Amino acid sequence: MPATKLSETVVHDQASRVFDLDQMSLRELNQALHNLAAGSNETAWEVLNPKGNHSVAVGVDQPITIDVRGSVGYYCGGMNSGSAITVHGSAGPGVGENMMSGSITVKGDASQYAGATGKGGLLVIEGNASSRCGISMKGIDIVVHGNIGHMSAFMAQSGNLVVLGDAGDALGDSIYEARLFVRGKVDSLGADCIAKEMRPEHLELLQGLLDRAGVTGVKAAEFKRYGSARTLYNFNIDNADAY
């Protein structure tokens, strides 16, 4: 497993707009981000001293970059629509929940429900992700450099979850059409989730995801693919034991 990298040299870009949460409130930060008009030239933002605050940079809808220098609490980047957020630390539960587009990179680890219900965009966790990573995902792409916890991709509807490490129990329980790629071992598969053949189009898709996530030295062929057996799509009483 890659070690979790929490420390990183801080390079302050003089052109970026710096928001110190020791000096200003979370409300002022989010309001300033929401006040950005389309085409604004304030495209580089930096957030200092997040100190585990919840809801940092939520609901951003402009194509800007946001560097968060430290660890964040719940729901960082929630509903992100187009911005590129980098958390230079770890993220609490629900990072990138319901992301629409854009990207979020977490340099450290992520807690539960990373990328929950995400509709689009790319979520990269450079450390490990906890349980329920990609729960109910609906189009988001998630790349985790480390391991993921139990019940990940529960009811995952669409999008791609790539795990360079291992997956916990009940991966992909009640999965719909999302694709899961795991390089390491899977503790167990959830109801209706099965290993699937890795066809050329999947290798191509996976390589593209690895490239977008900045993963090097890892080949798509090292992964196994998992997805829905589609046996629970229409209720059948004889399948009741599967639930």
Partner 1 sequence: MTYRNPPTTPRKSATFDDYTLSEIRRAAATGIYDIRGAGAKRKLPHFDDLLFLGASISRYPLEGYRERCDTSVVLGSRHAKKPIELKIPITIAGMSFGSLSGPAKEALGRGATLSGTSTTTGDGGMTEEERGHSKTLVYQYLPSRYGMNLRDLRRADAIEVVVGQGAKPGGGGMLLGQKISDRVAEMRTLPKGIDQRSASRHPDWTGPDDLEIKILELREITDWEKPIYVKVGGARPYYDTALAVKAGADVVVVDGMQGGTAATQEVFIENVGQPTLACIRPAVQALQDLGMHRKVQLIVSGGIRNGADVAKALALGVDAVSIGTAALVALGDNDPRWEAEYNELGTTAGAYDDWHEGRDPAGITTQDPELMKRVDPVAAGRRLANYLKVMTLEAQTIARACGKNSLHNLEPEDLVALTIEAAAMAGVPLAGTNWIPGKNGF
Secondary structure (3-state) at 29: helix
* Chosen residue from 36, 48, 58, 64 binding partner 1 by CB under 8 A: 58
Nearest one of 75, 147, 137, 135 to 104, comparing CA atoms: 75
Interacting stretch for partner 1, rule CB under 8 A, among 58-66, 141-149, 187-195, 207-215?
58-66
- Write down the least CB distance from residue 158 to partner 1, Å: 5
Of residues 106 through 165, those in contact with partner 1 by CB under 8 A are 112-113, 116-117, 119, 132, 135-136, 138-139, 154-155, 157-158
The kind and range of the H/E element at 86 are strand 81-87
Task: Please tell me the count of residues contacting partner 1 according to CB under 8 A.
Answer: 41
Q: How far is residue 80's CA from residue 59's CA, in Å, rounded to a whole number? A: 5
Q: Is 177 in the site for partner 1 (CB under 8 A)?
A: yes
Q: Is 31 in the site for partner 1 (CB under 8 A)?
A: yes
Q: Cα(first)–Cα(last) distance of the chain, in Å?
A: 33
Interacting stretch for partner 1, rule CB under 8 A, among 8-16, 90-98, 200-208, 212-220?
90-98
In the bound state with partner 1, the residue whose beta carbon lies nearer, of 131 and 220, is 131
* Chosen residue from 19, 75, 223, 226 binding partner 1 by CB under 8 A: 75
Q: How far is residue 153's CA from residue 138's CA, in Å, rounded to a whole number? A: 10
CA separation, residue 21 to residues 25, 26, 27, 70 (Å): 6, 7, 10, 11
Interacting stretch for partner 1, rule CB under 8 A, among 9-17, 51-59, 182-190, 201-209?
51-59
The Cβ-side half-sphere exposure at 156, using a 13 Å CA radius, reads 35
Q: Which two tokens stand for residue 128?
A: 């490990």
* Chosen residue from 78, 89, 127, 190 binding partner 1 by CB under 8 A: 78
- Write down the least CB distance from residue 90 to partner 1, Å: 17
Q: In what order do the strands lie in the sheet with 44-48?
A: 17-20, 44-48, 65-69, 81-87, 101-106, 122-125, 138-144, 158-163, 179-182, 224-228, 193-196
Q: Exposure of 197 by Cβ count < 10 A (0-12 exposed, 13-18 middle, 19+ buried)?
A: exposed
- Write down the least CB distance from residue 185 to partner 1, Å: 25
In the bound state with partner 1, the residue whose beta carbon lies nearer, of 45 and 176, is 176
Q: What is the CA radius of gyration of the chain?
A: 18
Please give the DSSP secondary-structure letter assigned to residue 220.
Answer: G
Query: Residue holding tokens 């990072």?
Result: 95
In the bound state with partner 1, the residue whose beta carbon lies nearer, of 97 and 126, is 97
Interface residue list for partner 1 (CB under 8 A): 26-27, 30-31, 34, 54-55, 58-59, 61, 73-75, 78-79, 81, 93-94, 97-98, 100, 112-113, 116-117, 119, 132, 135-136, 138-139, 154-155, 157-158, 176-177, 233-235, 237
